[in-house]
């Protein structure tokens, strides 16, 4: 089971957001955002921030760091190591199953991710046996979009996507390619972009807050 840090629900635990960090970060990176969102206590939202395993990353000279998968090339067509993506998706599935076993229904669980974490979220949610409340994919792209239609098990999915228009790490066009694949699959996808780089901004957090309230109320 993946290790994680959490931000506990302020009232009875009714819903969960599982939020996956980006390359080289840890669950602690996004932990401070949970209180900043100032979500209504009555929604009973618990945040879970897993830590990716530590592994060598090829494009960083084999340096070991927290990563959801290896990056062997900066070419977006081959950036995400598909085997690693599937392994991490399986590990995150265990966290989702744990929440369901604890009494939180799948339609009260949000899977969120930034950059590498967003790749895992967009890969996993359409292939899950459970229909989640939604997916939040921030400054990210999709692994093997051409396989989505053949592998998807979810007929309907609500997805919030946001990207920086000046992102030098994951170009916004990569996010738009993922968006197009998801829309073509028939999913309900909203798109937001902001004049920022590979980061999260205040305006984006306001949009995330509104979306989380709408999906978990």
Residue pair 21/114 in contact (Cβ under 8 Å)? The answer is yes
Catalytic site residue 198?
A: yes
Catalytic site residue 180?
A: no
Q: What is the CA radius of gyration of the chain?
A: 16
Residue pair 4/50 in contact (Cβ under 8 Å)? The answer is yes
Opening angle at CA 22, ends 92 and 48, nearest 5: 45
Catalytic site residue 115?
A: yes
Q: Identify each DSSP E strand in the chain by its residue range.
A: 4-7, 15-20, 45-50, 54-57, 63-66, 109-114, 134-138, 158-164, 188-194
Candidates 13, 51, 166, 198; catalytic one: 198
Candidates 26, 88, 115, 121; catalytic one: 115
Opening angle at CA 55, ends 32 and 51, nearest 5: 25
Q: How far is CA 142 from each of CA 40, 78, 101, 112, 123, rounded to the nearest angstrom?
A: 32, 11, 29, 14, 7
What positions carry a catalytic annotation?
115, 167, 198
């Amino acid at each position: 089971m993946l290790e994680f840090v959490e931000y506990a629900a302020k009232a009875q635990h009714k819903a969960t957001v599982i939020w996956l960090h980006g390359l080289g970060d840890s669950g602690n990176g996004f932990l401070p955002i949970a209180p900043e969102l100032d979500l209504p206590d009555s929604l009973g939202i618990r945040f879970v921030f897993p830590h990716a395993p530590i592994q060598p990353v090829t494009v960083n000279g084999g340096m070991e760091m927290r990563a959801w998968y290896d990056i062997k090339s900066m070419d977006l067509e081959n950036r995400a190591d598909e085997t690693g993506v599937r392994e991490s998706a399986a590990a995150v599935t265990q966290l989702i199953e744990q929440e369901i076993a604890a009494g939180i229904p799948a339609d009260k669980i949000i899977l969120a991710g930034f950059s590498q974490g967003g790749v895992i979220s967009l890969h996993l949610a359409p292939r899950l046996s459970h229909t989640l409340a939604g997916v939040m994919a921030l400054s990210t792209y999709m692994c093997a979009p051409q396989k989505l239609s053949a592998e998807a098990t979810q007929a309907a999915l609500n997805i919030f996507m946001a990207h920086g228009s000046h992102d030098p790490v994951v170009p916004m066009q990569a996010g738009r390619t993922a968006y197009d694949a998801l829309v073509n699959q028939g999913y309900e996808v909203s798109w937001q972009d902001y004049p920022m780089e590979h980061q999260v901004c205040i305006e984006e957090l306001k949009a995330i807050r509104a979306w989380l309230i709408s999906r978990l109320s």
